Structures are given as structure tokens and as C-alpha cells.
Amino acid sequence: MNGQLTRRDVFGLGVAAILGRNALAATAPEFPKKAIIRTILKDLPPEALAGGATLFHEHLSFAEDFMPRWIALARGGGRGPAPPPPTGQKFFMQDLDLMTEEMKAALADGVACIVDGGHEDMGRDLNFLRVLSEKSGMPIVASTGYYTQPFYPKEIATMSEDQIAEDLIRKAHTQPVGALGEIGTWDAMTADERKVFRAVAKTHLATNLPIFTHTAFGKGAVEQLDIFESMGVKPQHVVIGHVGGLQDPTAAVSKEICKRGAFVGFDRQGGPGDRQQVPQVLALIEAGYAANLMFASDFSSAAQLKHNKGGGYGKTVTVWVPKLREAGVKEDVLHGILVDNPRRFLAFVPKKGRPKMNTNGRE
């Protein structure tokens, strides 16, 4: 050995090669007996993802009009028609060859697994995810659930929480999904959103699937966790998303969530504005909550692709993490957050066998 890393070393060590060789020396986490991480292609032992970062909240598949609708709602407070979808070229989340190259680039950046946070009300295509994983070699965890009030199908208004739970349990038992997410509140929690959150809690209790959420940049984060706990969900199975968006250097809300045992999501990472969130992360690490942190980028824009000179799906590792290192965060801590925390979150003991999936993305 000459002390230099080959290309094969980088792929084999994943994030350890990027963060430093000593990262692998961190104490390995413990997992429940018979726990698996359910990817769209197969169930993996959690140890299989020890060589790189797992990004708990990204998007690899949603409808072409989803982001235009999202932007219109965000800018207009839910008023006005959605702008038409972009035209003139193939939507990047429907371009299998392009996305395959992006996944291969993410693997080279030290990403070992990506959790897709889409589901039917976003226009997620399960079969696309299956083929993408096969062609690229990237393990992908698919999710199920309902997003937020503006995106709910009309029938949610008339369904009971038990009916919603029955629907989600059916999907969990007939589709190869490994998480419930992203489950969101758009602004202040509505009655329908509360109903969905309670149904998601019932689904978790029936399946053991972990849960990750969407908040309006941290707004309503504690209320979300309150509902899950009131239903009997243990906090260690929950990530409250977008809490980093609170822009609170003292991390008061995040500390409350961590103290209760849940994870907090810093999941808009890898861009020019994320440096202002470094103080929050430092405050949480100093308070002893490194084991409750979760990182991702919530990838959603073609401009972010490597193909378009952006940071790509690995930008959490290549753009965000260097800022934490510069701030003094140690390599073993970074390894724990990027590699160990998401595996502990995603690992669950199934209550039923793995569903089979045909080429249409269904049982």
C-alpha cells in the first residue's frame, strides 16, 4: 500500500474515504434482531449501508407539474392557478439515462443510499425508481403517505382516519416501501392534516415503518411530534423535517425534539444559504444531540444536477459537510450523523414478508 486511495477505494469506503479514514473507527450502531432496511429492490441488513452516507429525504420521482404547483402555493398563499409545467425538453425525473448518471455521480461522492420522499399525491412512479436503482446501482428506499393539505386527493376530506390508515397499511403490505414520508403540514395544521398524521401513526404501529415529516421551515414541528407520541409512536422512529429552517442559533425547538428522542432534519442542505444553519448544528452537537441529527438536501430542481453544473444528489456530502468540518466538527461525529443515524432510523423489523412488485410498480 502506498497510502493513496484508488477509485475502487473511494467507492468501497464511501463517505469514510471523503471524511477521513478514521471515520470507520467510530463505534458501530446496534440494530434490533431481524431488522432490515427495505429498499425498492431488496431488503438489506443495516450493515450493508455502512460504507457511505444515507440521505433520508430526497426526491427522485414526482410529476412534472408538482414543483410549479408548489411554487405557486408558496408564493401565493394557496391562491391562484398553478403555472403550466415547463415544456421543450424531457422532465429530468422522467429521463432515466440522465438520472442514472446522476445516481452514479452520487455514489462517487460517497452516498450509499437515497430515500425518496414522494408518493402518489406527488406523482411518484415506483417502477421508475425500481429501474433507476437497477441501472445505477444506487440503493433507493421508496416511501408512501400523503404530503400536505393543498396536495391531498379530494377523498381525504370524507375519509376517516381509520380509512386512511387502512389505505396506507394496504400500500405498505403490497408495495416495497421502506418509510412513511414525507408527511407534512403546509402551514398551521389543518383538521385533515391532523387526521392524516393520526392515520400515519396507526400505520407505523401496524407495520413498524419509520416516519419522516415536512414542516413549513420548522413551524409546527413540536405539534407533529406531540401527535405521534400521543398515538403511541416512539420518537426514535420519527424525523421532524426542515427544522433547520427555523434559523435559530440556539436551536431551542430542535433541542426539545431531540430531548424527547426524535431526529431533527436539516434537509435543505448543499446550497449557498446553508452556512447560516451551521451554528444550530454546532449547538446541538455541543448539547449532546449528535445522534439525533439527520442531513439531506430535499433535491427537487434540474438546476441542481451535476449535468447542469450543480452539486448533484451528493451535495449534502460535498457542499454542506465541508462547512461543518471547517467549523470544527470531528470526523467521527460526521460519520455518525451521515452513516449511522439514518441506518438506525430506517432499520425496522417487518410485521409481514416483503411485498412482490411487478413492472407496473404494484404487487
For the stretch 214-223, pLDDT in tens is: 999 999 999 9
Distance of CA 169 to the CA centre of its chain: 20
**CATH number of residue 331's parent domain:** 3.20.20.140
In this model, does residue 128 exceed pLDDT 50? yes
Query: Within a domain: residue 205?
Result: yes
Pairing of β 263-266 and β 293-295: parallel
Other CB atoms within a 10 A radius of the CB of residue 318 amount to 17
Q: What is the pLDDT of residue 9?
A: 38
Count of structural domains within the chain: 1
Query: Within a domain: residue 86?
Result: no
Domain of 162 in residue numbering reads as 143-346
Query: Within a domain: residue 208?
Result: yes
Give the chain's mean pLDDT.
Answer: 90
Q: What is the pLDDT of residue 361?
A: 47
| Of 53-67, 71-85, 117-131, 231-245, the least confident | 71-85
Question: Which 3 state secondary structure label does DSSP give 253?
Answer: helix
In this model, does residue 206 exceed pLDDT 80? yes
| Of 19-33, 75-89, 182-196, the least confident | 75-89
Query: Within a domain: residue 355?
Result: no
User: Is the pTM above the cut of 0.85?
Assistant: yes
In this model, does residue 19 exceed pLDDT 70? no
Query: Within a domain: residue 122?
Result: no
Calpha distance 234→222 (Å, rounded): 14
> Which three three-digit cell numbers place residue 78?
394557496
Query: Within a domain: residue 97?
Result: no
In this model, does residue 88 exceed pLDDT 60? yes
Q: What is the pLDDT of residue 177?
A: 98
Query: Within a domain: residue 91?
Result: no
Q: What is the pLDDT of residue 86?
A: 55
In this model, does residue 360 exceed pLDDT 90? no
Interhelix angle 191-207/161-174, nearest 10 degrees:
40
pLDDT average, residue stretch 307-328: 98
Query: Within a domain: residue 157?
Result: yes
